[in-house]
Amino acid sequence: QLQLVESGGGLVQPGGSLRLSCAAPGFTLDYFAIGWFRQAPGKEREGVSCVSNSGGSTKYADSVKGRFTISRDDAKNTVFLQMNSLQPEDTAVYFCAAALGFRLCVPSEYPYWGQGTQVTVSS
């Protein structure tokens, strides 16, 4: 089965930046739409950003528009989430996920998931 691996999480101060990476050893990710999702304690898992397999279409949650950028580098077989101007409200476990299609940027549309990487924004 397709197994995704996230990296790049960590502890950052408010206003700082992190870049998350999503990879899938043994698979070519350009066949898949890729989404980044997050889950904070006591909250439902939510879509942060999704990108089509071609990279031509993206979606962002209103809360991250203008701060986060999703991109994919097919040569590196990797999808990135650049997170700038991070705030404490962004603290969550971040997951990448894959789907054979690009519909809604919601967890139920994405069958394949990574284990998640912790992002903590705190002073």
Q: What is the pLDDT of residues 33-71, one digit of tens each?
A: 999 999 999 999 999 999 999 899 999 999 999 999 999
Average pLDDT, the chain: 96
Q: Is 105 in contact with 47 (CB distance < 8 Å)?
A: yes
Using CA atoms, how far residue 13 sits from 34, 39, 49, 84, in Å, is 27, 19, 22, 11
Q: Is 82 in contact with 17 (CB distance < 8 Å)?
A: yes
Q: Pairing mode, if any, of strands 10-12 and 46-51?
A: unpaired
Angle, CA 48 vertex, CA 74 and CA 122 arms, to 5°: 110
Q: What is the pLDDT of residues 68-95, one digit of tens each?
A: 999 999 899 999 999 999 999 999 999 9
Q: What is the pLDDT of residue 1?
A: 85
